[in-house]
Structures are given as structure tokens and as C-alpha cells.
Amino acid sequence: MSIDSPTAAIPRPPARTAPAPVMTGAQAVVRSLDLLGVTDVFGLPGGAIMPVYDPLMDDENVRHILVRHEQGAGHAAEGYAAASGRVGVAIATSGPGATNLVTAIADAYMDSVPLVCITGQVFSTLMGTDAFQEADIVGITMPITKHSFLVKSAEEIPGAIAAAFEIASTGRPGPVLVDITKDAQQAEAPFIWPPKIDLPGYRPVTKAHGKQIQAAAQLLATSKKPVLYVGGGAIRSNASAELKVLAEATGAPVVTTLMARGAFPDSHEQHLGMPGMHGTVPAVLALQESDLIVSLGARFDDRVTGKAALFAPHAQVVHVDIDPAEISKIRVADVPIVGDLREVLIDLDAAFRAADTEHPHDYSEWWTYLNGLREEFPLGYAPTTDGQLSPQQVIQRIGEMTGPEGVYASGVGQHQMWAAQFIKYERPNAWLNSGGAGTMGYAVPAAMGAKVAQPERAVWAIDGDGCFQMTNQELATCVINDIPIKVAIINNSSLGMVRQWQTLFFDGRHSNTDLNTGHGTRRIPDFVKLADAYGCLGIRVEKEDEIDAAIQLALDTNDRPVVIDFVVSADAMVWPMVPQGVSNSYVQYARDHSPTFDEQED
């Protein structure tokens, strides 16, 4: 504009921005969820969170699913997150509502599940007075969350919720609690979005140090007996494709932990199976006798290592994890690498290819040995001797008939191990289970959450008769909300894993493990009648020739949940098994306790 322009001398007013809308803290909660892209939440209202439920009723973007117990809300949010990779959200009131979420929060913390729990709290003026339904949920959950927020003013709400999502979903994923007092929900304040998120000290490292990558690549190129030890971090970091590229470039054997099933395809020729207490013999001994363990998002859990001091005594260790606290916690790492596993795998693949040009690797002798173990110790099971169904056969057929595109959520116990062993996982996020905490009652609500997240997939809850009785009330939630999950109760009429340990280590003294749910004329409860009462399709299977028809009927039924009561042998055990606290060098133990190929074929 020239100085001769007639408008040149007219001062321009500063640009105006629309004033921030004023809303209640409760409205700010719902609006924050909207702007964060949340579409589904699981919860149960109560006095201290009631203000949030009023605007939630009118919101067209967020679907609220009313559970029958807050633990169910927590596990459903976990299942939602584990199946989709998105942050799961659970809502509860103060006191017992909040404490009922604690088990799910602890579960999410152990298994690195991105979870945000929003709880109501009593009026700030009443805190510390033992007010009705008051509990210090921030203090209670401090050891089992990535962070816990206590919000006492309406102005803080958008920032706290946005920060919670940021923390839950970045770095090592995990649960975050946002506890909001009732007066903060009722007060009014300007709603400012996006809020300024101030997280001093929270700086997750995603890019690894180049020298460490080079050192790891050199070890991979020069080792003779390496193993890629893959943990749940490969799932959480969405690194399955990059893992496959590196594995095929190296030609090294791969083992996937209980939390990593599906991170690497079971059908791949380099996959040796699951390591650990109930892992395959080749997977366990590959780790134990290796000269290099490349740990990728795994944490050397005691169920994998056995007695840690005797684990893989001749192996050097490359440990990759986004959480620096995990590195060298159990096993000292020769090459520690802190970073996001997906990015590390990309860099490590490039570095390995360069190193391999100088020192071409040769794993031929190692594979000769491992393939010999595969032939000698194939995974299998012996037939039952009491005329009852084989639980392994039931679970295997569920996997075969449903296929790799299904989702399988498991409870905890023998059925969990059989589901990890006998279903073939070809993709990530298909296998959901409570690995670190071992939470009975996880399966049904987690399957419900997974079905909400992935409605086009067939979703199975593979449960035990003990686990099922802890959270089966969520079948009512499924029926009312049109969430047609399939439930397979592996009913051995007992707390099966505890009974197995009692058989092996307590002279067969089965103290308080008989549940009276499946065998004989007494069925307490009758799971078919229970399913019918909830509005589900209930089926009982007691004969081998009924298995496939029942599974197919479940797969064909999508207008309501299906519950199949598979009455199986109480004497079936999970093999192989490395007893707790011993070395993983157990070839002779495996010979004595793992069914032979001939037994599997009989």
C-alpha cells in the first residue's frame, strides 16, 4: 500500500478473537472428550460424578455404555484400547465407584494399556473429613498409574483431561487418573481449547542413540546363536511390520511372549512360539542357550526367565525399550537402547544390513539345532482319560473356525495358556489378556470393549468357569447395547491352574478349588440357564462331535451374545511347564512332561 492511499493513515484495530465460551466444569469434561476424538466411554454414574452425566446425556459424539460394575468399565476400556490402539476411557463416581476401578487400573499399568479414568470426588471443602463416599483415589492409585490428577477448579479441567490423554498414549502407554471434585464440576469457567499442557520432566525418548544402534547391529552380524525376544512393546508401538522386516533380514529365530502373541505371525518359519513357564520347548531353550538376546519391548518377566540368575548364562543382551526403568532391571544389558521400538527397528534394520556386508552372518548350525527341537518337541496335548472334552481341542477349533481376523480375549488360568498356545495368531491386537497382573474376570468385559472398538470382527471371550463368575454381569450390558460377543466357558468345574499346582506341588490335595459348575447333576450355576436369563443364546457341549456345530452356531449368531458351556476334563494340564523358581534348562523335564508326537496323534 502506498503512502498516497486514502486508507494508509487509518489505524487498524487489533484482530479480535471470539471470547472463550463459559461452561460448567461438567460440560468442559464432555466437550474435552469430544475434541479429543473420543467416541465411546464405559461407566456407571453416582453422586459425585452426576454433574458430568447430565451434559453427557445430550452429547451426540460420545457413546456412553452403562456397565453393571465399575471393574467391568475398566476392563472394557482396556479391551477397547488393546483391540484398537486408541485410548480407552472409563468413568466412575467417588469412593467405592473409584476403588472398583483399581483392579483394572493396576492391570493396565502392568500391561502398558493406554487408559484414562475419570472419577468424581466429594466437594473440595469436604475432602479429608471422611465424607460420604470419600476415598483418596489419587493416593490409592499413585503406584499404579503413570500419573494421577486431582482437579479442584473448573478452569483446570480441559488441561487436565488433555494432559491425561497425552500421558496415557505417549512413551510407554499406561493408565492416567483424573479425579474431579463435585464443586469443580458445578462451577463455571471459560473453556479454553487447546489448553496449554505443562508436563515438566515428561519427555519420552523416541529416537535412539545412533552408536547404540550400531553396536547392536554389530552383535547381530557376528553372533552365532541370536534370538529376537519380542514383548508386548511391539504391539503397543505398532511395530509388527518393522519387526518382520528386521527378522527376515537377519534370519534369526523369533519368540513372542504372552503379551506379544500376534506381533510376529505364528505361521512364519522363523517363529519358535511363546517362551516362558508354559512356552514351547524350542522357544524356551533358544533363549536359554543363545549367545545373543535382542530384547524388543520385553521386560524379562519372571515367567519368561525362570530363576533370573540362571537365565541365558552365555548370552549378551541388547535391550530395547521406551521405558528406561525397564532396561537392566532384571538382566544387565550389554547394549541398552532407549527409544520407540518402531523407530528403533527401522534404524536397526539399516544398520544390520550395513554391518552384515562386512561380517556376513551364519546361523546355519543354530537353525539345525532349533529345527531338531521342533521335531522332537512339537506342541501338542494328550487325549483325556475321563471321557470329558479336551480343553485344548475346544480352543484350537475356536481359533481354526474363527480365523486370524477374529479377536480373542482371555481370562486367567489354564484356559489362558491354552488359548495362547493353540490359537494361531497372525496379526497384532488379536490376542487380549491380563498378562502382568493375571486378573481373573478380565475376559467378558474386555471382549465387550473390543467388540465396541472393532464391531466388524468376531470377538471371543475365552473364559474359565471361575473367571466367568466374577464379571458375567456384563452380559446384560452386551445385550442391552447390542454388543454380540461370543463366550466360550472352558468349564472344568474348578479353579484349574490352582488345581494343577496343587496336583503337582501339594501332593494332590485340592483345597478349595472345586467350583461345582460342570460335572455331575449339580451345576451351580447352570451357565446355559444363566445365559438365557441375560437374553443370550446359551449352549452346552459335552461331546466331541458337538464342538464344531456349537462354534459355528456362535459365529452365525450376531443378534445377541452367545455363551457356550464346554464341559471339559478337570484333569487336563497345561504342558510344557517350567516350575516356578527353577532354571529354564529343562530338556529332561520336558521329555518327562511334554506329550510326545505319538501321544498327540493317538
Query: Could you list the active site residues?
Result: 70, 132-133, 182, 497
Q: Alpha-carbon dihedral of residues 359, 362, 366, 368, nearest 10 degrees?
A: 180
How far is the C-alpha of 261 from the C-alpha of 302, rounded, in Å?
A: 18
Which contiguous run of DSSP H or E holds residue 75? helix 70-84
Instruction: Specify whether the CB–CB gap between 189 and 160 falls below 8 A.
Output: no
Q: ω before 525 within 30° of 0 (cis)? A: yes
Which contiguous run of DSSP H or E holds residue 116? strand 115-121
Instruction: Specify whether the CB–CB gap between 64 and 194 falls below 8 A.
Output: no
Q: Alpha-carbon dihedral of residues 592, 597, 598, 602, nearest 10 degrees?
A: 110
The identity of residue 375, as a single letter, is E
Residue with cell 532349533: 370
* Main-chain phi, psi angles of 454, to 5 degrees: -130, 70
- Give the strand order in the sheet containing 40-43: 63-66, 40-43, 88-92, 115-121, 175-181, 147-151
Which contiguous run of DSSP H or E holds residue 189? strand 188-190
Q: List, in sequence order, every beta strand (DSSP E) within 420-505.
A: 431-432, 459-464, 486-491
Angle at which helix 70-84 crosses helix 443-453, to 10 degrees, equals 50
How far is the C-alpha of 205 from the C-alpha of 465, rounded, in Å?
A: 43
Instruction: Specify whether the CB–CB gap between 25 and 189 falls below 8 A.
Output: yes
What is the maximal distance between C-alpha atoms in the chain? 104
**Three-class secondary structure assignment of 194-216:** CCCCCCCCCCCCCCCCHHHHHHH
Angle (CA) 176-139-199 rounded to 5° is 45
Instruction: Specify whether the CB–CB gap between 112 and 98 falls below 8 A.
Output: no
Instruction: Specify whether the CB–CB gap between 190 and 20 falls below 8 A.
Output: yes
Please spell the DSSP secondary structure of 471-492, one letter per residue.
HTTHHHHHHHTT---EEEEEE-
Which contiguous run of DSSP H or E holds residue 451? helix 443-453
How far is the C-alpha of 578 from the C-alpha of 585, rounded, in Å?
A: 9
How far is the C-alpha of 70 from the C-alpha of 91, rounded, in Å?
A: 8
Residue with cell 454388543: 483
C-alpha cell at 225: 546363536
